[in-house]
Amino acid sequence: MGMAAIIPALCLCAAPPAEPVSEVQYRAGMGFFVGSQGLKSPAEAVTWFSRAAESGHARAQGMLGLCYYSGQGVNVDFTQAAHWLHRAADQGDAIAQHGLAVLHARGQGVKRDPALAVEWYLKAARQDHAAAQTNLAAALESGTGVVPNPAEAIYWYRRAAKQGFAPAQCHLGTAYFEGRGVDKDLTEGARWHHAAADQGWVPAQFLVATHHFFGEGVPQDFVQAHKWMNLAAGAGHAAAGEHLQTIEDKLTPQQHGEAQRLAALFAARQSARTSGTAATAPALSTPELKAATTAPDVLASAALELSGGSGFLITTDGHVLTCQHVVAGARRIEVATAAGLLEAKLLASDIPNDIALLKVEGTHKALPLVSSAGGRLGHAVFTIGFPNTTLQGVEPKYSAGTINGLAGAQDEPRHFQLDAAVQPGNSGGALVDEGGRVIGMVQCALNPMKSFQRSGSLPQQVNYALKSDVIFHFLRGHAALAGKLAVPSESELTKQEIIAAAQAAAVRIRAHR
């Protein structure tokens, strides 16, 4: 018997006699949508949403509209999205009203009509829908579909900001800085920008960094400036990446290390936060702003996870390098060394370059880190790591290849391209040359599906390693490592001796989240 045949009977039997069948169908759809009881199936969710929607259930109609918009469980169809969102919006569903407003603002599935979009934003905003309030404020600020009214825009930004909606907090802060619709107040502006940055809103993190750098609305603090600029750059903010070095030049090595530590701590806390499962409504760019909505009655906790990767020792007293993404958000980190499983402390991380520095106790074998400037096309390299441990086991795996590119994707200069086999779990492993010296750290592989979508062909063994010169720049901020880094052997080693040394220094990372 198929799943669709089983679920109705179970749901109907479990429902209280007074509960409408459409409500039971809607809840069944939400169960499949969020994956409760381990049964996540967007297609099944659409089946149940459709049944409830046909019966006039407003939230089911709204969810069905969002599924058609986003292509979850059904092919993208803006016309169908508009149809179902309109039916739900007419019943007063705030999420659907906001979604329908977005469609009218963009002309997707309906004729573009900014004025009608404003009407629907207003209906949802009056129900305290934070994203609608923010988009309405943006329209009032820019005069899109409505007569410009900066003071009223501030009213709606403030209502959304007080609900904790980060985009609204960011725009409210900017209004205070520029004196638009409100008296100019740098301190108040910085406060709202900080509130948004603390939630991980990247544009606000960039602004907070500039406030600390120039001392605008907050005391001048280059460490805080570097922390926030680092976080914004790591999230892909182009301007942040350009300005990061300017701030770094003003820091002492100790201050640089502290800034890295603070950024790593923030990133870990952000990753570890419990996340809800959201149904995402159509999103807009400024002036309407990007805004996601959360479906009602959807609560899901992030389960604690154990994930892993590779790493390698660079000092005999237990300093370990790995990728930042391997340990991001970890409550506890363990490192499996030749001496056994040891607790590790995260000392610092560099989010934009995906580097993390760990420390374990004891005396260990370490690998020498040398400049990557000597790396050449065709040079033989290898890595020892712990890929796919659930399938391949926890014994270290050797993978050899050659450097087949002196730059990363789209000629990005921080990476080598290599053809050594790299799988999930290899991240953080040392890239070792023929002399047993580390010239890089394995980080990632070219995404085959994205490459296929763009080029029509699947990449073969296109992997990347971060160059050691970038790692040296990161380590420069840690005075405690001075004089401790392992040095290359003065005697010539055999291939087997080189592999054995790399194996002795290779470690398996276990991140508990």
DSSP 339-387: TEEEEEEEEEEETTTTEEEEE-SS----PPB--GGG--TT-EEEEEE--
Per-residue model confidence as pLDDT tens digits over 103-162: 999 999 999 999 999 999 999 999 999 999 999 999 999 899 999 999 999 999 999 999
Quick one: pLDDT at residue 3?
Answer: 42
Using an 8 Å Cβ cutoff, are 416 and 464 in contact? yes
Can you tell me the distance from the alpha carbon of 432 to that of 435, in angstroms, rounded to the nearest whole number? 8
Quick one: pLDDT at residue 198?
Answer: 93
Per-residue model confidence as pLDDT tens digits over 369-424: 999 988 899 899 999 999 877 567 788 999 999 999 898 777 788 899 988 888 77
Quick one: pLDDT at residue 115?
Answer: 95
Domain co-membership, 24 together with 73: yes
Domain co-membership, 286 together with 342: no
Give the end of a domain, one of 295, 318, 336: 295
Quick one: pLDDT at residue 104?
Answer: 95
Q: What is the CATH number of the domain that holds 407?
A: 2.40.10.120
Can you tell me the distance from the alpha carbon of 8 to that of 52, in angstroms, rounded to the nearest whole number? 12
Quick one: pLDDT at residue 453?
Answer: 44
pLDDT band at 449 (very low <50, low <70, confident <90, very high): very low
CB atoms within 10 A of CB 413: 10
Within-domain flag for 177: yes
pLDDT band at 36 (very low <50, low <70, confident <90, very high): low
Both tokens of residue 344? 């590790």
Within-domain flag for 136: no
Domain co-membership, 392 together with 472: yes
398: left (phi over 0), alpha (psi -120 to 50) or beta: beta
Per-residue model confidence as pLDDT tens digits over 274-332: 333 333 344 443 333 333 332 222 212 222 345 688 999 999 999 999 998 888 767 78
Domain co-membership, 120 together with 205: no
- Which residue do the tokens 């949802």 mark? 124
Can you tell me the distance from the alpha carbon of 468 to that of 432, in angstroms, rounded to the nearest whole number? 11
Ranges 177-181, 372-376, 456-460: which has the least confidence: 456-460
Quick one: pLDDT at residue 295?
Answer: 26
Using an 8 Å Cβ cutoff, are 380 and 364 in contact? no
- Which residue do the tokens 């053809």 mark? 419
Using an 8 Å Cβ cutoff, are 110 and 80 in contact? no
Within-domain flag for 146: no
Within-domain flag for 352: yes
Within-domain flag for 150: no
Domain co-membership, 211 together with 76: no
Q: What is the mean pLDDT of the chain?
A: 83
45 pLDDT above the threshold of 80: yes
* Dihedrals phi, psi of 434, to nearest 5 degrees: -65, -20
User: Average pLDDT for residues 456-460, to the nearest whole number?
Assistant: 45
Can you tell me the distance from the alpha carbon of 99 to that of 123, in angstroms, rounded to the nearest whole number? 12
Residue 491: give the domain boundaries: 306-513
455 pLDDT above the threshold of 70: no
Can you tell me the distance from the alpha carbon of 334 to that of 154, in angstroms, rounded to the nearest whole number? 49
Within-domain flag for 132: no
Within-domain flag for 151: no
Per-residue model confidence as pLDDT tens digits over 412-432: 888 999 888 887 788 899 999
Give the end of a domain, one of 264, 295, 326: 295
DSSP string, 244-280: HHHHHTT--HHHHHHHHHHHHHHHHHHHHS-----PP
Within-domain flag for 106: yes
Bridge partners of 465? Answer: 416, 442
pLDDT band at 461 (very low <50, low <70, confident <90, very high): low
Can you tell me the distance from the alpha carbon of 407 to that of 465, in angstroms, rounded to the nearest whole number? 10
